[in-house]
Chain A
Amino acid sequence: MKLYEYAIRRILLMGLVLFGLSLFMFYLTRGFLPPSFALAPYITPRMNDAQKLALAQSLGVATKSCASFQAFSAFQQSCLVPVWAQYTQWLGNVLSGNWGYTLLPTAGPAAKTTTIFFSRFPFTAQLAVMGAILTILIGIPLGIVSATHNNKLPDHISRIVSLGGYSIPQFWFGYVLLIIFVLYARIGGLGLLPGSGSLATNCAICFANVVTPKAVTGAPILDGIISGNLHFAWDSFVAMILPAVTLSITSIGALTRIVRSSMLEVLRQDYILLAKSKGLQERVVIYRHALRNALLPAVTVAGLLTAFLFGGVVVIEIVFDLPGVGYTSLQAVNVFDINFVELYVLVTALIIVVTNLAVDIIYAKLDPRIRY
């Protein structure tokens, strides 16, 4: 099989996964919640009952023969549409971008679910990207040191760090960092780092009274840089330090273990022995010969790490009071705004499957031994 044939097969499978996921989520929410929940995101204020009924019928939630909105609200048998029939309608709606209005009380009346979601998503993406950068910057070197110093002190330390990262409750780690860096590490009466919120205004190393630039990308750090407002960019960055560290702790643990074990595997190979016996320096052997091959398996877990990061943001955004989609999803859940959460689930799943696909294709490019 050629690479592009493989890629096409994978893209089809990817579509299948997303389809299956949307079907599962749909059955879960429509099959077990009253039909009024499906209607709620599309109702605008000042709609009368006849309009609501017409809306329910056009959404495929109520049957055409349904007599009145009261009958629909009372779940009368004549009004109920089977879930599979609702799904096709729903799919048509959401594929054309119609996710209805969000029920979030903070969003104001008639705010579109997609508008709110995509205005907050860049912030979450910024947090996840910072988490990913930290994971790579710390996880890979830690794994290498651990493998090259197998069963010595650096190995023990890095194993404790990685197992600890794997075992630590993220929300708790976030609070511990807050207690240390905000409550105890104080300079001139201010905490070293800001306590919460997306913009650091009240800490020892940030600027006071910065002007908020116009949102271009929605990710504050980028916005600050684009608009030339570097004080704003810096303050936004400072506000992200603790959340990003907290977010990445679990994935650092995971990546360190993977790099360690694959590095140990590679260091046992004959060609490493040959390289050493040629008289090459230890450093050259490790970084030029071993590392490239050892990093290959680490690339394959990128999808898993993405899942860690995007799942972790929900908790992190709550701990640090950040205005991203994770936090908003939880607010949405509390008012049964199912569409919002489904949008988050599907967008995240899309990111994860695309990452997995990209990883597999890159992997095939990196490793000439792999044939599809």
Chain B
Amino acid sequence: MSETEPQIEARRSADLRLALHLFRKNPLVLVGLVLSVGSIVLALLSPFLVNSTSWQITHPLLKNCWNNPLFGWGNSNIAHDCSSSYVLGTDSYGRNLLTMIVLAIPVDLQIALEVVLSAVAIGIVFGATASYAGGIVDEVILRVTDIFLAVPGILLAIVFMVVFGRTLTVLTGAVLLIWWPTYVRLVRSQVLSEKERPYVESLRSIGAGRFRILFRHIVPNSIYPLLVQATLDIGSVILTVSALTFIGLSPSPLLPELGNLASLGSQYFFTAPWLIIFPGLTILLISLGFNLLGDGLRDILDPRLRR
């Protein structure tokens, strides 16, 4: 017979302990956790740390203030001597680069979360429908995902942004256009393997409805791979978004977004390499954080990989 309440309780806590143990054993996951949670915390705190409207104000007189004694930039690469020194210098609009990076983190993270969560939602609805309905519905949904998977995503996103204009919403939509098919495929294959399990059979035999079985039982049971993929994809989405804004599809040249800041800095990369190095490094760290975390989560959540 099935386990009693306390037994289930005990097994759960044992599982949890094992997960925590694996977590501690893998230092890279810890690094990933620190980086990803750190970036989220920084994003949440950023309105309190810096003036959130400061990006809209340009300071022509403070353009390219690169005299920072800390980095020794003041001597050879000086573009413009300013009375006060900025930790990372100022960009070509005269804004403090460090402030801009702090302001940019929530912008990028928000887009990434919106894209990934929407893609997961679309994936659950269409993927579950495809695999459970089967037949012609399945075939049509699969062929549509085929279409989107046959093009380099960035090209689709570029055309989408040209047609609908350069705003943050369109940027989010453009990146979502790249990501949704992967999740439909993922959920579909998960549900396909899950629906052959005995518990689905027994649910059906006690008269549970199809809809109930699908969304109350099968989907929650296949959520772990989805969680791993979503964590991994936050990093990839940030990379795509920053690549799009870097190549000039930014809603505004002033927008504090990491790709856009790097794009501004790229004009000076021989004289002031740090203007592109630090925004790019921020992207790398955030993306690496979520990738390490997702990679570790997969090891922890997938019992087959534990050994």
Contacts and interface: CB of A to CB of B under 8 A. Distances in A.
Interface of A: 13, 16-18, 20-21, 24-25, 28-29, 32-33, 159-160, 163-164, 166-172, 175-176, 178-179, 183, 307-308, 310-312, 314-315, 318-319, 329-330, 333-334, 336, 338, 341-342, 344-345, 348-349, 352-353, 356
Chain A contact residues: helix, strand, loop or mixed: helix
Interface in B244-284: 246-248, 259, 262, 266, 269-270, 273, 276-277, 279-281, 283-284
Contacts of A318: 246-247
B266 A175 contact: yes
A169 B159 contact: no
B203 to A, nearest CB: 33
A32 B247 contact: no
Contact of A170 (B146, B162, B243): B243
A19 B18 CA distance: 51
A94 B140 CA distance: 26
Contacts of B163: 28-29, 32-33
Contacts of A330: 158, 247-248
Nearest to B291: A167
Contacts of B206: none
Given A25-B159, A167-B288, A315 B280 contact: no
B243 A175 contact: no
Contact of A345 (B144, B159, B292): B159
B106 interface: no
B155 A169 contact: no
A159 B259 CA distance: 26
Interface in B126-161: 143-144, 146-147, 149-156, 158-160
Contacts of A179: 269, 273, 277
Contacts of A159: 28
B64 interface: no
Interface in B269-307: 269-270, 273, 276-277, 279-281, 283-284, 287-288, 291-292, 295
B25 to A, nearest CB: 10
Contacts of B291: 163, 166-167
Given A311-B154, A348-B151, A171 B262 contact: yes
Contacts of B279: 172
A310 B153 CA distance: 10
Given A163-B288, A172-B284, A314 B151 contact: no
Contact of B295 (A163, A171, A176): A163
A193 to B, nearest CB: 14
In the A-B complex, the 3 residue pairs with the smallest Cβ-Cβ separation, listed nearest first, are: A311-B152, A172-B280, A167-B287
A314 B277 contact: no
27 contacts: A17-B146, A20-B144, A20-B146, A20-B147, A24-B147, A25-B159, A28-B159, A33-B163, A160-B28, A163-B291, A163-B295, A167-B287, A167-B291, A168-B239, A169-B243, A169-B262, A170-B243, A172-B276, A172-B281, A178-B269, A307-B153, A315-B246, A330-B248, A342-B159, A345-B155, A348-B151, A356-B150
A236 B270 CA distance: 23
A314 B155 contact: yes
B288 A176 contact: no
A17 B150 contact: yes
B164 interface: yes
A107 to B, nearest CB: 18
A310 B291 CA distance: 23
Nearest to A173: B280
A171 B243 contact: yes
B288 A348 contact: no
A331 to B, nearest CB: 10
A353 B248 CA distance: 29
With a 10 A CB-CB cut-off, give which of A29, A169, A310, A353 has the most chain B CB atoms. Answer: A169
Contacts of A33: 163
B269 A333 contact: no
A29 B279 CA distance: 33
Contacts of A29: 159, 163
Contact of B235 (A24, A25, A167): A167
